[in-house]
Amino acid sequence: MRAMAIDYGDRRIGLAVSDPLGILAGEAWTLEEWDMERAAARIAEEAKARGVDTLVLGLPKNMDGTEGPRAEKSRAFRELLMQASGLPVILWDERRSSIEAHAILHAGGKREKQHRKTVDAVAASLILEGWLGSKR
């Protein structure tokens, strides 16, 4: 079972794919796409090319657990992903994933300006690790 996690953003989308057994997060990268439909189509292509059978989409919630406009956008994107890929799309609470991703990059010696290029990929890896850990 191979899974792909998605950290959806308006400009950049972080993607991370698990190993073939669905145990560890592996490859992670950033996709730049502004159009939701084109983004969904590109992610579907990436998922197919990597043999992914489950998509895990980060659902941004407020710290009190409520959902705002970003969560609504993620839910709409979920529908596009399901149509484009034909795969199940699991919504996963991504609270603090971007904050943790920035902390990881900072601890690794990256300056703030450099974070923009990779923070979404790191956040997708954290989403994937959280979801994979819940499966054990």
CATH numbers and ranges of domains, the chain? 3-135 (3.30.420.140)
* Distance, CA of 71 to CA of 64 (rounded, Å): 13
pLDDT on residue 37: 96
pTM of the model: 0.87
* Distance, CA of 9 to CA of 92 (rounded, Å): 15
Each of the 136 residues of the chain gets a pLDDT tens digit; together they read 899 999 998 889 999 999 999 999 999 999 999 999 999 999 999 999 999 999 999 999 888 888 888 899 999 999 999 999 999 999 998 866 666 655 665 676 666 655 566 778 888 999 999 999 988 7
Sign of CA dihedral 43, 40, 99, 23: negative
In the sheet that holds 3-7, the strands lie side by side as: 25-32, 12-18, 3-7, 54-59, 89-93
67: left (phi over 0), alpha (psi -120 to 50) or beta: beta
Q: Which residues, 6+ apart, have CB-to-CB distance to 43 below 8 Å?
A: 4, 6, 13, 15, 31, 55, 81, 84, 85
pLDDT on residue 61: 86
Residue 30 gets which letter from DSSP?
E
Sign of CA dihedral 60, 30, 20, 79: positive
